[in-house]
Amino acid sequence: MIISLIGFMGAGKTTLGKELGKSLGAPVIDLDEYIEEYEGKKISEIFSESSEAGFRQIELNCFENILEEHISENPDTLEDFTRCTLVISLGGGIVTTPECRDLISRFTYCVYLKCDLDTIFSRLDGNTDNRALLAGQQGESLRSSIERIFAEREGYYLSLANKII
């Protein structure tokens, strides 16, 4: 099975993904890191050169590549935790792309890292450089952007989750 981690920016997907991979003895891929390597550019550069729509297309292509490489090894073991073949930490906005939602629910056991907005705000305030959608924002402006974007996504996070932590 493939375990995917979803959740808002700052929820801890990258950190927890690495820990989970270690304890399950499974490889770990962080999709943002994969995209940066694949494109040879920082996420922020991709956003400024290609806008969010361009980034979402690249994000989908990279997610498909990764799944294609891993799915065939264990096609029907979605619930088998003893045979986890991959842990993948996904970007916070991947759930806004319908094709990605479809891939997440068909091919992964999806864990939603639910995090309250005050915690997210305190983690992101002063730390938005690699978060293209929030870059340069702080204080009240950052808080209201977080609330708005989270409200747009929360339903997707909840409906995709096989497990909520």
Tokens, residue 97: 């792309």
Q: How far is the CB of 119 from ligand S3P (least distance, A)?
A: 14
- 132 counts as binding ligand S3P under rule CB under 6 A: yes
- 43 counts as binding ligand S3P under rule CB under 6 A: yes
Own/partner pairs, 64-67, CB within 8 angstroms, 24+ separation: 64/103, 65/38, 66/29, 66/31, 66/34, 67/2, 67/103, 67/107, 67/108
CA distance readout (Å), 124 to 29, 31, 49: 22, 19, 24
Nearer residue to ligand S3P within complex by CB, 73 or 118: 118
Q: Which residue matches tokens 């997440």? A: 104
- 93 counts as binding ligand S3P under rule CB under 6 A: yes
Q: Which member of 12, 17, 21, 92 binds ligand S3P (CB under 6 A)? A: 92
Q: Which member of 67, 91, 115, 157 binds ligand S3P (CB under 6 A)? A: 91
Q: Which member of 5, 9, 88, 142 binds ligand S3P (CB under 6 A)? A: 9
Q: How far is the CB of 18 from ligand S3P (least distance, A)?
A: 13
In the chain, alpha helices (H): 13-24, 31-39, 43-71, 98-107, 117-124, 139-160
Q: How far is the CB of 78 from ligand S3P (least distance, A)?
A: 24
For ligand S3P, the binding residues (CB under 6 A) are: 9, 13, 32, 43, 91-93, 131-133
